[in-house]
Amino acid sequence: MRYRVGLETRTRILEATRDLVAAQGLEKTTIKAICEKAGILVGSFYNLFESKEEAILTVVADAIRAVGPEDEEATLHELVDAYVDFVEKSETTARVYLMVAVSGGLTDEGIRARMLRHHERRIELFGRALRTARPDMPEEEVRQRVEGLLAALNGMAFHRLLDPSFDFRSYARALLQIGA
Amino acid sequence: MRYRVGLETRTRILEATRDLVAAQGLEKTTIKAICEKAGILVGSFYNLFESKEEAILTVVADAIRAVGPEDEEATLHELVDAYVDFVEKSETTARVYLMVAVSGGLTDEGIRARMLRHHERRIELFGRALRTARPDMPEEEVRQRVEGLLAALNGMAFHRLLDPSFDFRSYARALLQIGA
DNA sequence: GGCGACTTTGAGTGATCATTCTAATTTGAT
DNA sequence: ATCAAATTAGAATGATCACTCAAAGTCGCC
């Protein structure tokens, strides 16, 4: 991939993969379908990616990266709002992210490992914000509350994708009354 | 399926299917794997089920049925507690239920339809309980709050399955401070 | 505009998928 | 014990899967 056309093809492949994964899930997404959607033939795919797994892992990694700005100084409220923004503004990417977050990448070890690392980072990020707001709270309780908050947020985000009329932002903010 | 042995085989097939779906997801579960786990050969499978889809739909329908006693008189607190019991006591079935609840049965139309119907019933059930507790609440707000509560519960349930040390019951109860 | 590196083509490979079929065996009511 | 019906065995089928490869075409530096 040293020429301009190669990079364009790569982009089209990743977009096609993202859309298909969001619509049908990880397992049902085939090379054939990706290539058709990207307007190429299989040979071109394998010129740019080692395997189907590599393309999917790239899409998943991009989705994880798109979730958060990782601002270490952000308040809980800002973090929750940023997550709501992500889900509402990048529905397709959010769908990929949630599918993996929730199934944990049941079979693929690469995806699973990446998502676990991401989850730990999120707990740290939200934990730091909660500790700042509530310096008196015991460390163990901080972690449990953050885990509960993140889990509830993910559940609501999924519902938001199924039902766009759901007022995700309000309920996400309401969760903070428990979480903090 | 008129003989005793046939019914036993059927049960073993459904258990194998349930376990495999819980462990690997809907799409990665193959007839071959089901038959190996059930200790039979493919011919026996097709003597009892029309297709792989029928076996999986049966498992999913059983999981949906296992979720709730559908007690029309139950309070919100009782409903939430019953759901926590379900998740903690029937982990494998709960995993199947959540995978379908969350992915909505992305491809299979039979599963998708069944889960949508179930979701509507749950909203009615929880809505009735919330209206009883808060007769003054506007109808539209009741539905939105119930949807938010159910979504958050599902998210937390998923997290509970990934991390058994998570205190699902406490956080589920805490949600009621928002939901009601 | 020549040339080596990159990209595309598209038929081909072997593995695995769900499903079918026939013959052999087992069941249980009589 | 007999026998029709149910169950099981297991090879075979055709579709589809991820992936390979050699030849033809394109790109962009010189």
Task: Show the domain range for A14.
Answer: 4-49
Query: CATH code at B165?
Result: 1.10.357
Query: CATH code at B9?
Result: 1.10.10.60
Which of strand D's nucleotides are less than 7 A from any protein C-beta? 5-12, 16-23, 26-28
In a domain, B54, yes or no: no
Distance from CA of A11 to the nearest CA of B (A): 25
Examine the domain organization and report whether A64 and A44 are in the same domain. no
Residue-wise pLDDT tens digits, A50-60: 999 999 999 99
Residue reference for tokens 């997801």: B25
Residue-wise pLDDT tens digits, A74-119: 999 999 999 999 999 999 999 999 999 887 678 888 999 999 999 9
In a domain, B159, yes or no: yes
Examine the domain organization and report whether A84 and A173 are in the same domain. yes
Question: In A15-53, which positions are buried (b, 16+ CB within 10 angstroms) versus exposed (e)?
Answer: ebbbbbbbebbbbebebebbbebbebeeebbeebbeeee
Examine the domain organization and report whether A40 and A84 are in the same domain. no
Q: In chain B, which among 141-160 make CB contacts under 8 A with chain A?
A: 144, 147-148, 150-156, 158-160
Which of B23, B27, B156 minimises the CB distance to A151?
B156
Phi, psi of B74 (to 5 degrees): -65, 145
Residue-wise pLDDT tens digits, A3-47: 999 999 999 999 999 999 999 999 999 999 999 999 999 999 999
Question: In B127-156, which positions are buried (b, 16+ CB within 10 angstroms) versus exposed (e)?
Answer: bbbbeeeeeeeeeeebbbbbbbbbbbbbbb
Q: How many domains does chain B have?
A: 2
In a domain, B83, yes or no: yes
Nearest-by-CA chain A residue for B145: A171
Residue-wise pLDDT tens digits, B38-65: 999 999 999 999 999 999 999 999 999 9
Residue-wise pLDDT tens digits, B146-178: 999 999 999 999 999 999 999 999 999 999 987
